[in-house]
Amino acid sequence: MSNEKKRTIELLNLVVKFDDKGLVETFEDRFFPVIRGGKVRGRGEVETYRFEYLHFMLIEGVPIFAGRLLKFMTLEAEQDFDEASEKLIESTKTMPSVPSSFFVIDLTTHRLAYLSETRRAPSSNDLQYCISKLLNSDYAKRRKEAKSKVLENLGLLRVTKKVRDQVDKKIDSMVPKSYINLRSLPELKKVGKTLDPFEIITKLIIKPLPRNNELSKENSQFLRQYEKRQDKLGSISSSLVMGNTKDGLKKVATKDLVKQASTGNYAVKVMGKDSQGEDIDSDLQNISVKFREKIPAKEEVENRTKRLFKKLQDAFSKGYIVTVEVTAETRRLAIDIVNRLKV
């Protein structure tokens, strides 16, 4: 019997922000401490989630953070089949189970490979849920501690109406709130086919989303300049809207721009009409990058990390996902983190 099973690998974009600071700037102070040994209460059959086997590696010069998300649960059988009476009967049987998933994060590009290792494995949504819960809990704790310090510095025992705004602003500056989003990446090879049903494209909307400190890398540089302009202005909300209801947008150019925006840092919506004149639209959510592959059931953590890293690199080199570029400073910070924390 083969020890390999077909499993799903997802490629995603992990965005973690603390005000204007990204993942690597806050990794050791805010992110890693809450993930390490972090436990999150589950719901229903799930008792708890737990992060384990967290480790750091430099693979081909790329700084990697990887680990497992475990889901501790109790499976309950509601009914069974009685062979003697040939009838369904009520059952109270239970069985503990700990399904798991494995993740690998490139700390420079923030791209994440997520492998569901078993049946009932924690989903990528579960990963986002757990990180969010841990960060929010840590945020509440830090705010409480900061409040005590602020009141002490002001010589107050409690927050009065007169100083409430002053105290809140001071706490906000001391403890920035976290933002976490784990986004699917549209598969570039499928973008064209997704837009093929459009006989005419009447509108294209590209809405930038919060991102880490990386830029998309394209030939036209159009979106890259747009991103830099946003950073320069400190803009957190804007949209690119292009439309032509008379003749429609140029299809080839529109496909190219949609591909450039497929970085996991934009919400994209295409609107138009099909060959029958019916209104249609697409937001690319149905073409996220997922692979079904045979994966060894038992594999050393280091080898599994290298396997998923290679999947990420192949996705870039084979044109499944948009290549991104990062600053030299971001790369240096990420490598320093791994060198300090790896065993």
Of 34-43, 154-163, 297-306, 329-338, the poorest mean pLDDT is in 154-163
What is the tens place of the pLDDT at every residue in 213-225?
A: 776 665 456 676 7
**Band (2; pLDDT cuts 50, 70, 90):** low
Residue 248 sits in the same domain as residue 151: no
What is the tens place of the pLDDT at every residue in 252-264?
A: 989 888 888 888 8
- What gap in Å lies between CA 102 and CA 31, rounded to an integer? 18
In this prediction, residue 217 carries a pLDDT of 60
Residue 104 sits in the same domain as residue 197: no
In this prediction, residue 301 carries a pLDDT of 94
Beta strands 214-216 and 266-273, pairing class: unpaired
- Is residue 139 assigned to a domain? no
At 312, list the tokens.
């990420």
- Is residue 31 assigned to a domain? yes
* Angle CA 154–156–161, to nearest 5: 100
Mean pLDDT within 297-315: 94
Expressed as residue numbers, the domain containing 173 is: 144-179
Residue 240 sits in the same domain as residue 317: no
Residue 165 sits in the same domain as residue 126: no
Between 225 and 169, where is the model more confident? Answer: 169
Residue 166 sits in the same domain as residue 196: no
- Is residue 14 assigned to a domain? yes
| Cβ–Cβ < 8 Å for 34, 54 | no
Between 230 and 236, where is the model more confident? Answer: 230
Between 26 and 161, where is the model more confident? Answer: 26
* Angle CA 32–38–40, to nearest 5: 135
How far is C-alpha 219 from the chain's CA centre? 26
Between 251 and 308, where is the model more confident? Answer: 308
Residue 196 sits in the same domain as residue 282: yes
Residue 216 sits in the same domain as residue 151: no
Number of independent structural domains in the chain: 3
Average model confidence (pLDDT) across the chain: 89
pLDDT at 120 over 60: yes
Residue 236 sits in the same domain as residue 118: no
At 29, list the tokens.
């102070």
Mean pLDDT within 172-197: 90
Q: Which residue has the tokens 């249609």?
A: 280
pLDDT at 1 over 50: no
DSSP string, 84-127: TTTEEEE---EEEE--EEEEEEETTT-EEEEEE-STTPPPHHHH
Residue 227 sits in the same domain as residue 240: yes
